[in-house]
Amino acid sequence: MAPTPTELQRLATVISRRTGMAFPSTRLPFLTARARAVMAWAGADNWDSWLSELEASAGNDDRVGEALDEALQVHETCFFRYPGHHALLSDVVLPDSLAAGATRLRILSVGCSTGQEAYSLAMTARENLGGDAHRQVEILGVDVGRAALAAARRGVFGPLSVASVPPLYLERYFEPEGPAFTVRPELRAMVRFLRHDIRRELYLGKFDAIFCCNVCLYFTRPTKDQILTRLTAALRRGGYLFLGHAEGVTPPVDNFRAIYRPSGVVFQRIPA
């Protein structure tokens, strides 16, 4: 049975309250389909009573609510999704940070999904810094998706997934295993993954660069603002913020300066 418009509105409200996600009318069919799947899994068939249970448990660590939160995540990603970001990492972030005396750069991949963004950053760092890269660069990927993080940690990718990896990098940084490709230990040594909800405060020290791509676009305006506050606090002064092309987040000019290059734009937190 389809939810009534009122039930659909209740569903969108309860999910927004739990996750900070926005549900404009274009996303309602997606919301309905995923919620129906979770309802079926939970053995529920009445929207009204199921919604009442969800509303009563919102914010708690309940099993059904968590399954619904997870089912609504979009984990779509790929290696080297924004080539311009990698050019900026090579041409601006790495040389400028090292010239400024940094000995170890910390990079955060927010909403890292199954790990392709974090491993791509590691490949770019290694291409620039050579075999010593694991001593000079540490990359942390954070996400709320448990299954996505497990896949990221496994570091085994299918042929379609590695299609956007340049052939030379595929040869250098992956071990073919049957039809799949496993990330080699030297790359893996540079990357760690951690479960973290980016709406919460990060107690992980300061980062030199943060990549937040294709994460904020799903959130409500207050949640986007909350995330920008968290990311700003986690970025050292002089550090760099990379955003996806449709993030819907604008770093404020009193805190950031935009650095434009033909390959794209990166926002630098204004040094003290």
Q: Residue 270, SS3?
A: coil
201 binds ligand SAM (CB under 6 A): no
* 132 exposure class (CB count in 10 Å sphere: 0-12, 13-18, 19+): exposed
Choices 54-62, 141-149, 155-163, 258-266; region in contact with ligand SAM by CB under 6 A: 141-149
Q: Of 72, 210, 215, 241, which one interacts with ligand SAM (CB under 6 A)?
A: 215
Instruction: Give whole-number Cα distances, 130 to 82, 109, 127, 135, 187, in Å.
Output: 22, 21, 6, 10, 11
User: How many residues in the shown chain lie near ligand SAM by CB under 6 A?
Assistant: 22
Residues 222-241 binding ligand SAM (CB under 6 A) are none
Instruction: Give whole-number Cα distances, 30 to 10, 75, 250, in Å.
Output: 15, 14, 27
Residues 8-37 binding ligand SAM (CB under 6 A) are none
- Closest contact distance (angstroms) between CB of 50 and ligand SAM is 23
x/- letters, 58..87, toward ligand SAM (CB under 6 A)? ---------------xxxxx---x------
Residues 174, 205 contacting (CB under 8 angstroms): no
* Token pair for 239: 């550090």
Choices 29-37, 45-53, 92-100, 194-202; region in contact with ligand SAM by CB under 6 A: 194-202
Residues 259, 267 contacting (CB under 8 angstroms): yes
Q: Which residues bind ligand SAM (CB under 6 A)?
A: 73-77, 81, 111-113, 117, 142-145, 148, 197-199, 213-215, 244
